[in-house]
Structure formats: C-alpha cells, structure tokens
Amino acid sequence: MQESPAIDRERYDAVVVGARCAGAATAMLLARHGLSVLLIDRDRHGADTLSTLALMRAGVLQLHRWGLLDRIVAAGTPPITSTSFIYGDETITVPIKSRNGVDALYAPRRTVIDAMLAEAAAEAGVEVVHGARLVDLERAADGRVTAALIGEKGGGVRRVGAGIVIGADGRRSTVARLVEAPTEHACHNVCGVVYGFWPGLENGRSRWYYRPGIAAGSIPTNNGDACVFLSTPPARFHGEIRADMEAGYRRGLADCTAELAGEVAGKTPSEPLRGFPGEPGYLRRSHGPGWALVGDAGYFKDPITAHGISDALRDAELLARAVLRGTDEALAEYQEIRDDLSRKLFEITDAIAGFGWDMESLKPLHLDLSQSMNREVEALLGLDTPAQHAGRTQ
C-alpha cells in the first residue's frame, strides 16, 4: 500500500470495489442520498457468477424497500410461494406468508439481480465502470486510506481520491488484503456443492432435501429453469464427484432424494454443471480509517444455508447508513450490528455444513435459523429513513 503523495484531481465521496449484490446496492444507496460514488468491477456487466440463487425474506424485503422488487418480477423470475423441507421421508411444507410487501420469495439469476442493481446504481447517479480492477490503495501519513489505484481496460492506472474505499469484492477481496483486515471469527466446516439448471421442473415451490451425510435442493429461477444443487462433505466431493461431476451429482441426488434424481433423469441441463469445493467461513473486521468491507469481502459462510445474497443486501444498507453518518464510530457500529445479526446464522450454518446431524438434530437447527432470520427482518423493518446527505465533495 502506497502513501498518498498528491492532492486529488479526481475525487469521490466513496469508491466501491465490486459491482454485484453487495457493492452495487451500497453504491446505489449512497448515491440516492447525495454522495458522489465510483463503482468498479473487473467483470463485465451482467456476467454470471457461482450461486444457487435463493433469496431469503430479508433479501426480498430489501429489494422491496428499495423499490426494486418489481424489476425482478418483470424479468420473469418466478415467485416461490412455499418451501418444503424434506427430512428423509418426512415433508414439511411452509407457505410464504404475505408480510411487509413480501408475498413470495425469489431466486433471480445473478445475471438478472446483479445487473439490475448495477443499473439502479447508475440511475441513482453512480459512475459505474466494468472491466476495471482495484490494484492498490494509498494512505495518508496517519494511515487513513485516501485513494484507490484502478487498472483500466487499456492498461493505464487511474488514481482516484476517495472519502472512503469500500471493498465489496468478494471472498478474495483485494481491499481486505491491502488493509490487512483481520479475521475475527472463523468457521470449521465446509461442503462441496454441485448444481445445474434444469428445465421443466416444479415451479412455485423450493424444496430442500436432507439425509444423513448429504443434502440437495431445487430452487425455481428464471428462463423456466430450476437450480438443482447437491451438497456433500468434502471427502465425497473430492473423492468421488470431482472426477466425473455429472455422474457423481446424479449418484448423490439418488442417494439423497429419489424424487429429484428422477426428475432430472434422462434430461440435459440448460448449462454445464458447476462445482464449488467449499471454503471455510469467516467474519472479518470490516472497517478502519477510510475503508470498509461489505458482502463476502467481510463475511462469508457456507452456501448450504443460502444466505449470502440476503446478507449482502442487508449489510449494504447498514454500511450505507454508517457512511452517511460519516464518522469512524458509525462504521464501528455498522460492524457491531452486522456481527450481532450474523453470529447465530454463522454458527448454525457451520453446524449444518459439518454434516454431523441426523434428521432429529437438524430440525432444531433449522428452527434456530428461522428465528435468526426473523430477527434480521425485524431489524430491517425497524430502520428509519436516513437523512439526505448535505453535499457532494467532488
């Protein structure tokens, strides 16, 4: 990290690195309240990324609160009006209650939701640049981050002064690395995931199947597809599935649920299957002088509880509100609230990803998960409208 040498010729209130659910949402909210914001991403606009796509109630609520849920619906994302938990041979179906503007859950393709959020950010006045990569940060003599060095498509480096640099740049966050953000809590368990998009499956209900040592699910998404995933402990993923992903996936589905295995039998997925070997979860320190982290850059947990996008949309608002208050104390409070709302989700996810459960011990974990998710919904509903920011610094 370099020391800041010069007066900024180009300056934004905030530079946000990573233009997907965490970064685009944060940038949009800041710009809606009058801040000048540069949002960059090394990917192209609308690019896909790894995900089984399920939004929990808090995520859908955020889209509703920001006036963006209609766009997800208009993109043809099917409403999910009930969720079935299938424990071995026992099925428990829970209808999605209509509350606070959310009458269904959704699982939009990342090509839909991430692109929509980046477009909403641009509409709010954010300068959005794809194909640009953060390469370094500059600090003032007192250690405060003051500028971002951005590698551009043509090979040049753009130096941009920033009131704050926000890392929304995912699990391999460059911002977290450059500011040396410490990991404050770590998970122990990981699982491997393989998923594919299948046409013509049941639409309108998400299904989550569990048997000892294996889990699977079907989540309706765009284009008439359902995302069908298989989660296994790492030994099975590395020992069996990796060598022949499709054969291992079909065998795993058959071991977990004859129903789902039968529905995809003889069919070809709409796109090649995708695999994720797993990565241990972490909660990183998420703020410091002139910097903050949001989304996976600051907080990641195993996808088996399908909560990362909802976390990102929740924390985008918590961080934006802290940045609007404009003090280091507000940033510290952002992390306190994030950690308070996340710690239980984090621990339950770690327990589920460990596959040490049987059908009877898994149910109370799901109950705890549901209570933690209700708590975060209540926290979001309790947020007032942040005051309009007084002025731009650009």
Tell me how many residues contact ligand FAD (CB under 6 A): 34
Cβ nearer to ligand FAD, comparing 124 with 309 = 309
187 lies in the binding site for ligand FAD (CB under 6 A): no
The answer for residues whose C-beta is within 8 angstroms of residue 19's C-beta and 6 or more apart is: 27, 39, 40, 41, 43, 45, 114, 117, 118, 121, 128, 130, 168
Span of 46-54, 136-144, 177-185, 251-259 interacting with ligand FAD by CB under 6 A:
46-54
21 lies in the binding site for ligand FAD (CB under 6 A): yes
Over the window 112 to 151, marking each residue x when it contacts ligand FAD by CB under 6 A and - when it does not, the resulting string is ---------------------xx-----------------
The answer for residues whose C-beta is within 8 angstroms of residue 348's C-beta and 6 or more apart is: 305, 365, 368, 369, 372
307 lies in the binding site for ligand FAD (CB under 6 A): yes
168 lies in the binding site for ligand FAD (CB under 6 A): yes
Span of 30-38, 93-101, 281-289, 301-309 interacting with ligand FAD by CB under 6 A:
301-309
303 lies in the binding site for ligand FAD (CB under 6 A): yes
41 lies in the binding site for ligand FAD (CB under 6 A): yes
Span of 17-25, 78-86, 259-267, 368-376 interacting with ligand FAD by CB under 6 A:
17-25
Structure tokens at 184: 């404050």
Cβ nearer to ligand FAD, comparing 196 with 295 = 295
20 lies in the binding site for ligand FAD (CB under 6 A): yes
Minimum separation from the CB atom of position 362 to ligand FAD (A): 18
Minimum separation from the CB atom of position 186 to ligand FAD (A): 17
Span of 154-162, 233-241, 249-257, 299-307 interacting with ligand FAD by CB under 6 A:
299-307
Residues that bind ligand FAD (CB under 6 A): 17-18, 20-23, 40-43, 49-54, 133-134, 168-170, 174, 193, 276, 295-297, 303, 306-310, 312
